[in-house]
Structure 1
């Protein structure tokens, strides 16, 4: 059964705190995808995840490098697929998805065919100046459990 969980955020700080809470539940091999319009808050959410994973480096969008790697309690891989021109392009993403870290993919539609079935898809939408609606769509029992835990 596919479920979608909703969360309303009133500020970037609140969005980051939610991401930190999610990070506490993550383990090696976990995959989070983030979609939403430019400026919706994908990178802000990612910064919260990184903080929750103990990353101390400055996290910013890897737009021109596609993948940035960070060290924390787990390796953290931040991917921005916005500039991927050919969905079939071999980027070696499976090495990250099956690796020892946590992977976040912004603009997942650009690499949809390369994504594992089990993952947590999050869509972020503007609803006001600082307000956002976050829609969590877990695929797999583990991600359903995580959503129930952090969004109760």
Structure 2
């Protein structure tokens, strides 16, 4: 099968209990990238104007204050560049044969990548099984987790 055709063969997430469980990233990477670009532009614009105004007025404290905010804005801008590059990375999709898994039952796990999977040079897959229980004691609710399998 051609790697580029995996996008067409990838199952679609469904709430039907008879369908396999499809796990994929929930937040679209382009949405995070767009948000960071807008935020970084706004932040750097305001702090940059304040820095230039303080510089022209020879205000030492204003330069230090607005300079700090401008450096923070540049770090946010680097984050925007990083998330923009992530948009082009392949995205993992994990398919579990059964939606509900009970102790002792067999199931199958398969994975695939949407996007250009030829960019992947090294891949490590880890599996962790845990149980989580929530119970109420009086008026307080407690939750506990226990890991029973890790590979």
Instruction: Please give the range of the TM-score, normalised by the shorter of the 2 chains.
Output: under 0.3
Q: Which has the higher contact order (CA 8 A, sep 6+)?
A: 1
Q: TM-score, normalised by structure 2?
A: 0.23
